[in-house]
Amino acid sequence: MSQTYFTEDHEWIKVENGVATVGITDYAQEQLGDLVFVELPEAGATLSKGDTAVVVESVKAASDVYAPADGEVAEVNDALTSEPALINSAPTGDGWLWKMKLADESQLEGLMDEAAYKASIA
């Protein structure tokens, strides 16, 4: 069974079998506007909770996307290198950013569920 979490920094984290897929929320991509560039982490890189993992650039601004927990980057969404607009068109689908093997799933316990996240942006 998978579980989805949300951060105050407008990231979503879908966890399945100890692997987290991370992306930015629809709200975040709306705030950023049209994305023109994405800097992804290297597969195999080790991230600590709170580290800048990805930088997304829109016509308006650059924004950091943070690691939601400690872990190792298992895979990155290479499609975004040539098509960063996937994040705008499908932020919770094909526009995912990276997948990571979690070192400690308990680090996700303080994050919000979807209802709490929606309430936080309302």
Give pLDDT tens digits for 12-56: 999 999 999 999 999 999 999 999 999 999 999 999 999 999 999
Closest CA to 22 of 59, 77, 83, 61: 77
Closest CA to 45 of 10, 75, 80: 75
Give the tens place of pLDDT for each residue, 57-115: 999 889 999 999 999 999 999 999 999 999 999 999 999 999 999 999 999 999 999 99
Dihedral Cα 71, 84, 77, 13, nearest 10 deg: 40
CA-based end-to-end distance of the chain: 28
- How many Cα atoms occupy the beta-carbon half-sphere of 111 within 13 Å? 23
> What integer pLDDT is reported at residue 44 of this predicted model?
98
> What integer pLDDT is reported at residue 93 of this predicted model?
96
- In 31-122, DSSP assigns E strands to 35-39, 46-47, 52-58, 62-66, 71-76, 98-102
Structure tokens at 82: 């040539």
Please identify, in words, the CATH class of the domain defined by 3-104.
mainly beta
> What integer pLDDT is reported at residue 2 of this predicted model?
83
